[in-house]
Amino acid sequence: MPVLTTDAESETGIPKSLSNEPPSETMEEIEHTCPQPRLTLTAPAPFADETSCQCQAPHEKLTIAQARLGTPVDRPVRVYADGIFDLFHSGHARALMQAKTLFPNSYLLVGVCSDDLTHKFKGFTVMNEAERYEALRHCRYVDEVIRDAPWTLTPEFLEKHKIDFVAHDDIPYSSAGSDDVYKHIKEAGMFVPTQRTEGISTSDIITRIVRDYDVYARRNLQRGYTAKELNVSFINEKKYRFQNQVDKMKEKVKNVEEKSKEFVNRVEEKSHDLIQKWEEKSREFIGNFLELFGPDGAWKQMFQERSSRMLQALSPKQSPVSSPTRSRSPSRSPSPTFPWLPNKSSPPSSPKAASASISSMSEGDEDEK
């Protein structure tokens, strides 16, 4: 494994060249005891002052090509990323994800600057340093958090934490009287660029809040915050509360309109259904009526049959006046004649004649006896 030469250093003291010559002094081989990347996400990342690298083995300088091949196999590649990380968002997480996945076996150290340094060189922050430290500890890509990180990286800091490479976006970062605070890191071959996430940054989030300040002030007043906590004047407080009341009334009116529209729609749907059912039932009723009472309906036929029966019952047919004479068969004997029966064709003309006929009938009976 190539080792550092003592005379190859930049102006800042950061080694920048490698030598294949072994060191003159013979040293016993010491096993690396550097912390390994986190394998479980059930606990937050530790702070550097709680678990610093106490490895006594020589920390050889690596090139980017060597690190991408996965060497050395006995220790992880220690990658450092620093920043303010105010209002920790997806852009921060993506940058740390890129730093973590630069090499096959990376140990990601994240340095977070304190409030004093940040307020001095960049400006006021929304979150204080303790909140920003905790936000980084709970990011899945972070293996170790370094509190109160320096604004400009020094050789002593790099040596103390045994840093192999520094990851940051490639845009020159002008601050603290320097055109690029990472210039000496780039010259030493220890800089690995990452890509910024467009459309999201802490400044953008703060700009949104400032632009819609009235909306968020009214929102927090409605949620119970006091005007003093929001730094709102008495007049603005009354204005915001009045606007909240107006918005509530508008919301109620909107809800009533929506409910009334829903009710009207339901009534229309039900009316359409009722009309459709009524039309179907009316067609069925008319068809049944025509079947019963139409020109050829069953009711008419039934009425005609019953009326004919009634007529037959009320006026039976008369027997014919003259019937044709039947030829008597020779086997039949002539019907007997009864002289005592009166002749139907010649009724008695008077009561005297009737009594005379009756008396003659009685005499005839006596003679027969």
Q: What is the pLDDT along the chain (369 residues), one digit of tens a residue?
A: 333 333 445 555 565 544 334 444 444 556 666 777 877 678 899 898 887 666 666 778 888 988 988 877 778 999 999 999 999 999 999 999 999 999 998 999 999 999 999 999 999 999 999 999 999 999 999 999 999 999 999 999 999 999 999 999 999 988 877 889 999 999 999 999 999 999 999 999 999 999 998 888 888 988 899 988 888 888 888 888 888 888 888 888 888 888 888 888 888 888 888 888 888 888 888 877 777 776 766 666 777 777 787 777 777 666 555 555 555 545 555 555 555 445 544 455 555 555 555 555 555 554 544
Helices 234-293 and 213-222: crossing angle in degrees, nearest 10, is 80
Residue 71's SS3 state is coil
| Chain-centre distance for alpha carbon 270 | 29
User: Is the whole model's pTM more than 0.75, yes or no?
Assistant: no
Going 159 to 164 to 168 to 169, the CA torsion angle's sign is positive
Q: Going by C-beta distance under 8 Å and a sequence separation of 6 or more, which residues neighbour residue 81?
A: 95, 96, 99, 108, 109, 110, 111, 166, 167, 168, 194
State the amino acid at position 229 in one-letter form.
E
